[in-house]
Amino acid sequence: MEKNNLSKQQIDKNLVKKRFARSAQSYGKYAIVQQRMAKKLVQKLLLATNNHTYNTIFDIGCGDGTLTKLLLAQFHPETLIANDIVDDFQQQIATIVQKHPATNTKFTAGDIEAIPLPDNIDLIASNAVFQWLNHLELFYKRLVKQIKPTSTIAFTTFGTNTLPEIKQITGQSLNYLPFNEHHKLISKYFKIIYAHEETDIQYFENPIEILKNLKQMGVNAIKPRHWKRRDLIAFSEEYTQNFTHNNKVRLTYNPIYFILKRKTD
Ligand SMILES: C[S@@+](CC[C@H](N)C(=O)[O-])C[C@H]1O[C@@H](n2cnc3c(N)ncnc32)[C@H](O)[C@@H]1O
């Protein structure tokens, strides 16, 4: 199978928008790893910041509201600002916030690398989004200028060992940074309160189920790819040969968690 080595390529934001918009209805059903990450992020946030509460929360790349729901239920903020590059998620967020009438909600659509960041935020949160950014360091520089001395940032992303099976066969992968590089970069700008990486392996009946799963989550937004029948057969054979365990095929994720504050010096 022809491999595309995309390791230095920029992310095509229009394609990201298109693929995530298409997955808007199915994402919640398939994004099992991202749901686990959202839950764990909130748990770690509570522990690391001693059950602190937040009046104003900004959720970057909120998607269908997987993390947003948990933030609302846990912190009952006065104000929630939800952002996503896909405008259509506004409807899903509106449905979620109906259950929280005491919270004022605003949805700001747009690429977080291009739109202005809001002021006066107590908690900036984001689950499984930053791997889609092109200029992470520039983004951190903007964040650190924007936050208050008391603000907290809590986010998850994915490290290098994410979907290595797909990369090995197709050559396609996002430019995932290893955990230690994230750590090094972040410590230039922020005080790290919590940092953790883990491996999360999912098992599927066959490789075609894996491709479907990635599509339903919008995670296939790296490069347009038109699979021919023979590509699918070759992909399935190679995948099965290399990654079968107890009659199932595996798919590996490498979730990364960070909780940050502004540096005091
Ligand atoms: C893997 S989903 C995560 C959704 C949600 N945060 C969750 O907890 O499951 C990634 C989300 O990030 C959004 N996204 C990707 N790139 C973005 C960008 N540059 N600016 C804003 N949102 C972005 C996508 O549209 C998608 O909804």
> What are 21-77's pLDDT values in tens digits?
988 888 888 899 999 999 999 999 999 998 788 999 999 999 999 999 999 999 999
Confidence (pLDDT) at 215: 85
- Which of 5-9, 67-71, 113-117 shows the lowest mean pLDDT across its residues? 5-9
219 CA: nearest ligand 1 atom:
1
| 88 CA from centroid of ligand 1 (Å) | 12
| 75 CA from centroid of ligand 1 (Å) | 21
- Which of 4-8, 76-80, 91-95 shows the lowest mean pLDDT across its residues? 4-8
| 38 CA from centroid of ligand 1 (Å) | 13
| 87 CA from centroid of ligand 1 (Å) | 11
Confidence (pLDDT) at 220: 63
Task: Give the pLDDT band (50/70/90) at residue 221.
Answer: low
Q: Per-residue pLDDT averaged across 80-93, rounded?
A: 96
Note the pTM of the prediction, 2 decimals: 0.94
Domain covering 13-262 assigned CATH 3.30.365.10 in the classification: no
Residues 10-34: tens digit of each pLDDT = 899 999 999 889 888 888 888 999 9
Task: Give the pLDDT band (50/70/90) at residue 204.
Answer: very high
- Return the structure tokens found at 217: 């989550």
Confidence (pLDDT) at 126: 98
Stronger pLDDT, 162 or 23, i.e. the higher one? 162
The preferred substitution site among 85, 91, 130, 256 for testing ligand 1, maximizing ligand atoms within 8 Å of CB, is 85
Task: Give the pLDDT band (50/70/90) at residue 7.
Answer: very low
The preferred substitution site among 12, 13, 20 for testing ligand 1, maximizing ligand atoms within 8 Å of CB, is 20
Confidence (pLDDT) at 73: 96
| 169 CA from centroid of ligand 1 (Å) | 25
Confidence (pLDDT) at 263: 92
Q: Per-residue pLDDT averaged across 125-130, rounded?
A: 98
Q: Per-residue pLDDT averaged across 149-157, rounded?
A: 97
Confidence (pLDDT) at 4: 45
